[in-house]
Structure 1
């Protein structure tokens, strides 16, 4: 009898092990299929245009290439002489994306760095969403396919901004890893993570916020003070600042960024559109799935028992914080939507588990008494509907906003600016202007493209207009007045105050008044022009300005004699 029982037990144990292996294989296939779907989406979006999406990507990929060239020559980090009139002058420059730029180096080795930048953007964007999807698998959240589609359908602006060659994708990966370490209570690992995050992007403050939220949530749910989570995060952050090639200038730049952007009033100067909020109605309908997830999460968290609510409560506070800063500035829209989906997923999980355990924990005699009242076939149908049909229908429903978001984002990306628009003008400057001279660029946001094509010259303003404003407010106001055509005789001011003899301007209507002023003054001549841009040279001596339209001689009529 003993041998028989042992054999039966082994058989039962073997069946359990086989089911576990089968479950693991199924989940692995689901995860790989989901990762492929995510990657396909981002590579499809990325190559709807030839351009590097968002102009800052031109700066990031070119600067990464210069870092690589500096490393090969034994210079790390290399000097940055390109914006000498701003707070990013050679003495004060800080690369607060340093690790991100190092990660971009392999993509600069393509024959066309533009292609390398686009592949990097698609890859990092995919990894960011895959990391969120991995968190769902790691904690065995039910219906992973539903959450996969929800992650991709959560927001059109999210898809757009994650397609940029910028550090936000890597930032999301840092956030997800930090959340995993908090949930697993591996607090010591938060120190190296925070260190690397500081080297990568200035949004490392979200990791500090996450640690503080986790401490509060654990105290609320378990009545324990998890001070180590916050302490190790702060230690890693401080070390990241101190053990940094830009210390202590990196502290000054970080404070400058906070003072520039964290203001309840309007900005001191006209900054990039990403710093302003979205129109409310657009944000709502373009991120409808994310908003719906927030509502579902709020309702589900309210019905969870406190002992099971630590993780949902964390996502409640964290995603709400990200929603608030998204409402303040559109540049944070890439962070809130995926964490809104994670909030709903983790908030619903305790309810699903409680429902399953409630029925499964009934005594055997009670289940036996209830069995005659339950039709087995009907029970199987209900279970199949709950486990397969309902999630499938929800996925199909989510495919509608997914289709709209992907199509709309693809259309927006396809309309991006011509990446070669300034190449002709910058090639002329490289060939005719001595290296090291300052080029007066009439738009601060043209700098990344100018820098991409020409890194042997310097420029007046770039990356952010507040860098020039903070360095020299008077010069910043003069720059704005000149470029908008408010100065009737700008050439002497450009030469004397900015130290520039050559001017690069795009052919946009906003600069028509500037162009007319400088040409009509007689102090400048046009040396290069195409459909997209114009290069002007300031003269040593004033010439007679060209005649205006009113001064042009009248064309002879048919009745007038012609010489």
Structure 2
């Protein structure tokens, strides 16, 4: 009776009911991201910057000239809040809850919306097993780790899903609007053009091949002209809609025209050129080794291997959408191997390609009938099936639980919400407004900035901004913070850095020893985390 009751309903049939399916996916994703976030710490200091920007915008301060980094970086004349709409989105969470809790809850919601959005996209395209591909995303550690950071990667990917849907379904007007809004939401908006251009090339190639294989063309050996296909086709209109939307978002913008040099620096000099071999940039900009990526994203690569085999076996049945997603997957894989931060794009687009590529093979399978046959076959081969079942029931949950626990522990060993709070309070109360603080590392800025907007700071957000401002001053600052500079500390601090107050985290022992042994400086503050030195009067 038990098996009979099972056979009369489809496995996971509740996913066939649209609203229930979306709700189940959302709640599972919410639970996973909640578990990862359930810690008071932050693994990435940028979270403090995003909290503060949300609070500043809530007060009506758009920080157009960003005075806190205006002295020794290019941001004094070219700052743009490239996450503006994300920061606006944070405001109700920061206002209703405490900032530290609010940004975590907002991150959980965005992560859950992202997974539900992935599921929605596959359902719109009538891809079978959409629920399986969506849930697998939750158990790919590099992806869920990046999405769980209190930053804006989820926002960018959600926008890209909408862009891809507009391109696949020819919605140029909606694409124009989404592209314009994307500019205000996240600095990854140029990827809109990558998606539109990739679709355009693949779609034109399909059209060209279709015309070339037409009956008249075969009879008269006529080769179709490529230029008219491009000029009159929908593909060009989609690309122009995306480009027009981006240009509109750039020009109709509270930061125009200073956003133009900012995006050049952020997108080209940092995102593409990248000075990782010259200066010490953020860890996310360094390469992701392939031999580390594969075991860390094992579920994805199992899907990709299967998908590639199916893709080439059924290549004549594959749609242009599968080809587009294959190109985008390879594009994001190359970017990931160059800079590990792009893994947040590679994983969902790789999974989406897998879903589209495998679909022609399984679209006509009757899963209920298959389930019956597998069950009956099980009873005839109990030993083999039992061994396989036990293996998968042990191996898969072990990998999943291991990765989730590892992520939770990574978050739990991060930065405390009150880090540098006491030292920042001292700076606020004992230095003049707008006076400069020379701090011991560029990634300390977001934390200091969150606790104290009374002072200005040497460098922050990315060291490239200071390096492009002045290479000479950048290297002077680096040599001071690494302890390599000990002879001319007084002259450099006084003449080059406006007699700045020196803040250092206690793990910078070489730097600390140099200031401790220099008679021109006195220790004015110390706690368990940091020390503060000033020039003796």
**Does the alignment reach a TM-score above 0.5?**
yes
Alignment match, 2:512: 515
Distance 2:148 2:391 in 1: 26
Residues 1:81 and 2:67 are matched in the alignment: yes
Partner of 2:289 in structure 1?
A: 279
| Alpha-carbon shift at residue 266 of structure 1 (Å) | 4.5
Verify: 1:157 aligned to 2:142, yes or no: yes
1:412-431 residue pairs with structure 2 within 5 A? 412-431=410-429
The counterpart of 2:111, out of the listed 125, 144, 157, is: 125
Q: What runs of 5+ residues in structure 1 fail to find an aligned partner? A: 1-18, 357-376, 541-563
Matches of 2:106 and 2:275, distance apart in 1: 36
C-alpha contact (below 8 Å) 2:276/2:285 kept by paired residues = no
Give 1:307 shift: 5.7
CA distance in 2, matches of 1:291, 1:380: 25
Question: What is the CA–CA distance in structure 1 between the aligned matches of 2:531 and 2:350, rounded to whole Å?
Answer: 46
Alignment match of 1:525 (pick from 522, 527, 535): 522
Query: 1:266/1:60 Cα in 2 relative to 1: closer, same or farther (>3 Å)?
Result: closer
CA distance in 1 between counterparts of 2:327 and 2:500 reads 54
The C-alpha deviation readout for 1:455-505, integer Å capped at 9, x for no partner, is 111101111111111011110011011111122141331122111441111
Indicate conservation of the 8 Å contact 1:82/1:89, yes or no: no
Alignment check: 8 A CA contact 1:444 1:462 kept: yes
1:255 equivalent among 257, 264, 275: 264
| Contact 2:152–2:186 (CA under 8 A) maintained in structure 1 | yes
Q: Deviations over 1:63-93 (max 9, x none)?
A: 12111212xxxx6555421012344443322
* 1:27 Cα deviation after fit: 3.8
The counterpart of 1:65, out of the listed 31, 51, 55, is 55
Deviations 1:70-122 (A, max 9, x none): 2xxxx655542101234444332222222222222222214521111111222
Report the 3-state secondary structure (helix = DSSP H, G, I; strand = E; otherwise coil) of the residue aligned with 1:165. coil
Measured in 1, the distance between the counterparts of 2:16 and 2:296 equals 36
* Alignment partner, residue 238 of structure 2: 229
**Cα–Cα, structure 1 residues 383 and 458, in superposed 2: closer, same or farther, change >3 Å?**
same
Structure 1 residues 394, 347: closer, same or farther in 2, change over 3 A?
farther
Contact 2:287 2:337 in 1 (8 A): yes
Give, in angstroms, the shift of residue 175 of structure 1.
0.8
8 Å Cα contact 1:300/1:348 also seen in 2 = yes
Change (3 A) 1:23 1:67: closer
Could you tell me which residue of structure 2 aligns to residue 37 of structure 1?
28
Equivalent residue runs for 1:292-303 within 5 Å: 292-303=302-313
* 1:316 matches 2:314: no
| Cα distance, 1:395–1:162 mapped onto 2, change above 3 Å | farther
Distance in 2 (alpha carbons) for counterparts of 1:52 and 1:90: 28
Determine helix, strand or coil for the equivalent of 2:69. coil
Q: How does 1:337-356 map to 2 (within 5 A)?
A: 337-353=347-363
* DSSP 3-state at the match of 1:204: coil
> Mind listing any 5+ residue stretches in structure 2 that lack a counterpart?
1-9, 209-228, 378-384
Matched, 1:537 2:534: yes
Match of 1:441 in 2: 439
Do 2:82 and 2:186's aligned partners in 1 also have CA atoms closer than 8 Å? yes
Find the counterpart in structure 2 of residue 479 from structure 1.
Answer: 477
Residue from 153, 157, 172 that aligns with 1:168: 153
Pick closer, same or farther for the CA change 1:25–1:355 going to 2, 3 Å. Answer: closer
For residues 483 and 76 of structure 1, the distance between their equivalents in structure 2, rounded to whole angstroms, comes to: 31
- 1:547 alignment partner in structure 2: none
What is residue 466 of structure 2 aligned with on the other side?
A: 468
SS in 2 for 1:326: helix
CA–CA separation in structure 2 for the residues paired with 1:266 and 1:80 = 25
Conserved? CA contact 2:64–2:255, under 8 Å = no
How far, CA to CA, are the matches of 2:96 and 2:369 in structure 1?
60
1:54 partnered with 2:53:
no
Larger radius of gyration: 1
Q: What is the match of residue 267 of structure 1?
A: 277
> What does residue range 71-220 of structure 1 map to in structure 2 within 5 Å?
76=62, 78-110=64-96, 112-153=98-139, 155-220=140-205
Q: How does 1:377-396 map to 2 (within 5 A)?
A: 381-382=372-373
Whether contact under 8 Å (1:421, 1:533) holds in the other structure is no
| Distance change >3 Å, CA 43–CA 264, structure 1 → 2 | closer
The aligned residue for residue 494 of structure 2 is 495
Report deviation, 1:263.
2.9
Give the structure 2 partner of residue 550 of structure 1.
none
TM-score normalized by the length of structure 1 = 0.81
Q: What is the distance in 1 between the residues matched to 2:137 and 2:392?
A: 11
What is the deviation of 1:379?
7.9
The whole-number CA distance in structure 1 between the counterparts of 2:116 and 2:328 is: 19
TM-score, L = length of structure 2: 0.85
* Paired residue secondary structure (1:100): helix
User: What SS is found at the alignment partner of 2:161?
Assistant: helix
Q: Per the alignment, do residues 350 and 395 of structure 1 end up closer, same or farther by CA in structure 2, a change over 3 Å counting?
A: farther
Q: 1:380 to 1:481 in 2, by over 3 A?
A: closer
Cα deviation, 1:329-371, whole Å, max 9, x if unaligned, reads 1111111112211111111112222567xxxxxxxxxxxxxxx
**Contact 2:156 2:186 (8 Å CA) reproduced:** yes
Could you list the per-position Cα deviations for residues 153-208 of structure 1 after superposition, in whole angstroms to 9, with x for gaps in the alignment? 2x212111111121111001001111111121112211111111111222112111
State the 1:506 CA deviation. 0.5
User: 1:148 offset after TM fit, Å?
Assistant: 2.9
Confirm or deny: 8 A CA contact 1:441 1:505 kept in the other structure. yes
Deviation string, structure 1 residues 404-439 (Cα, Å, up to 9, x no partner)? 221221121111133323111111111211221111
- Quote the Cα distance in structure 2 between the aligned partners of 1:380 and 1:291: 25
